[in-house]
Chain A
């Protein structure tokens, strides 16, 4: 019998048969790992296996390549604190769905666990949306598709304002100006200037969404998860309501503050 204990973050729980569920966890040492939970559909267990919950997991199976069985104990339940905050709740759903589909199963990514744990803590803070964009950037890097935002790919020396959709490298404002319609806007907060806010977050979600789609989801013949689309839509909508125009198309750092509607 193979057995291990690890910390885990619940990504999803899907009913299986009459009373069991298949639970996907992002664990510290064992990466994204699924397992069967007997009685997982019971009222008591449903609370344990909510996305975002931090659990102490115990997994056992007869052979290493079996699905195996989980038994988990809750350590922390962020949903209780985010229940009244619709935008953060959507971000939590998006995080769980993106991580589940993006991270390969049974491949250790301790940094992804730490990063996701940090994001869950940040979801209660003021700059939760910027933290979410940083998390997706980090996830791209963890999976080998990091964007190079260190210097301008075109040799420009001024402020970095764009990202090339072809290479994933940053382009400065002056070097990118002739190609602005073909480049993706780079939000200032990702390169150390700009205060974030709705406009920059919307730009950031467009940027990471593009590369997540291209490198991870589209090759697997998948679209970005619905919750991720909903999160991006919320920022685009809030931006539209706040400024009367869509941000990001000109590559300028948007100075629109987060409208009152965004929690």
Chain B
């Protein structure tokens, strides 16, 4: 590529998840064609976001303010804290509008292979929150994987002496799922977690 600025832009865009070198080229071409309508506003938005985004000191969420909008929202139930692995999981739960409590982002799960132990996760902060704030329920919304469930059990044990109710998300048949197409593990988990109809 003749132009180093364009080349650099393509290289950077190619690092974004979902984009490879070819799609980065297409995106750059599209941006250059819509310089005023898209490229400059996008650059300004990215600049503004990069300068203002910070990690919430209470829950670990990403926001432009600290504490984040969720932690500052007085309408939310302060007694329920939902523990998630990542900010992406928090956003997924927020999209459902089914939970009106607060969150706590762990920053990952315990991993035997990656050597990620409890000290690398935001667990001590969660214990402090439960101790210091009036939390009555901690919901463990972690993945149904070996690492996710090992982390959930670990946190459950750490919270056991604090007199707080610890619950976790159910595992089983997804909405719209047909039994015939479900894998054995999901069906087994669903059967084990059955409840009165």
Contacts and interface: CB of A to CB of B under 8 A. Distances in A.
A203 to B, nearest CB: 23
Interface residues of A, number: 31
A48 to B, nearest CB: 8
Contacts, number: 78
A83 B172 CA distance: 12
Interface string A227-243: 11000000000000000
A225 interface: yes
B153 A89 contact: yes
A87 to B, nearest CB: 9
Given A47-B183, A50-B145, A80-B188, A86 B150 contact: yes
A195 to B, nearest CB: 27
Given A18-B17, A89-B153, A90-B150, A79 B112 contact: no
B17 A83 contact: no
B192 A84 contact: yes
A94 interface: yes
A3 interface: no
Most buried by B among A77, A83, A94: A83
Interface of A: 12, 14, 18, 46-48, 50-53, 74, 76-77, 79-81, 83-84, 86, 89-90, 92-94, 96-97, 100, 225-228
Leading 8 A-B pairs by shortest Cβ distance: A77-B185, A227-B112, A86-B153, A80-B185, A80-B188, A97-B112, A93-B112, A80-B189
Interface of B: 17-18, 20, 110, 112-117, 144-147, 149-150, 153-154, 156-157, 171, 183-189, 192
Given A86-B153, A89-B153, A90-B150, 14 more contacts: A47-B186, A50-B145, A50-B146, A77-B184, A77-B185, A80-B185, A80-B186, A83-B149, A89-B146, A93-B147, A94-B112, A97-B112, A97-B113, A226-B117
